[in-house]
Chain A
Amino acid sequence: DGGITQSPKYLFRKEGQNVTLSCEQNLNHDAMYWYRQDPGQGLRLIYYSQIVNDFQKGDIAEGYSVSREKKESFPLTVTSAQKNPTAFYLCASSSDSLYSGNTIYFGEGSWLTVV
């Protein structure tokens, strides 16, 4: 089935540790995105990538890092510098520019809890 796969679904991290969330898509989409969701705050953009080997900071990039070495993969690392990492993380992708009327499709999300 075509879609966006995020793993793991649930992840627990000790303070001071880095953790990487996986996002894989088989939709042949060029653009990929990471959003963070907190209750009452909607979705906020962390990083996005419109092409392989290129990515841009979103609105809340501090404490996060990404890579885009392959078209189908866009992993997100939550570093120890992220002061409040407990949240629901959503990966998304789109085929091309959103200005062309394309749609962003979302994965099922990953829950990260700092213990």
Chain B
Amino acid sequence: AQSVTQPDIHITVSEGASLELRCNYSYGATPYLFWYVQSPGQGLQLLLKYFSGDTLVQGIKGFEAEFKRSQSSFNLRKPSVHWSDAAEYFCAVVGGGNKLTFGTGTQLKVEL
């Protein structure tokens, strides 16, 4: 069965600093990978997804992610964080049965 690990439960960065959120997946076949963001008490918004092709994927709000098959990783990056980026971030993988499996999330705090 597929699984996703987000090893960092909380991350704090200063506004303007760079950000990298880690995601590792386990899936036997070619993975289809997603990053979502959630503000408190709200639904999830898609940031970006990897389906095939270029392993560096650009998303909304200045985010990007790189798929590395050899490391089973799909880390999310942003070169300069804004205070409005404070939220919870979820990595997810499509697995068997047309289902999306999520990691446990990383809570991002931005210090002004």
Task: Name B99's contact: one of A45, A101, A105, A106 (CB within 8 Å).
Answer: A45
Minimum distance in angstroms from B96 CB to a CB of chain A: 10
Main secondary structure, interface of B, reads: strand
**Size of A's binding interface in residues, CB under 8 A:** 29
A50 in contact with B41 given A42-B104, A103-B34, A103-B46 (CB within 8 Å): no
Task: Name B90's contact: one of A31, A33, A43, A99 (CB within 8 Å).
Answer: A43
A31-71 interface (Cβ within 8 A of B):
31, 33, 35, 40-45, 48, 50, 56, 58
Chain A, Cβ-Cβ closest to B104: A42
Instruction: Tell yes or no: B28 within 8 A of A by CB.
Output: no
* Residue numbers in B under 8 Å from A44 (CB-CB): 102
User: B residues engaging A (CB < 8 A)?
Assistant: 9, 32, 34, 36, 41-46, 49, 51-52, 90, 94, 97-105
User: A residues engaging B (CB < 8 A)?
Assistant: 4, 31, 33, 35, 40-45, 48, 50, 56, 58, 88, 90, 92, 97-99, 101, 103-109, 111
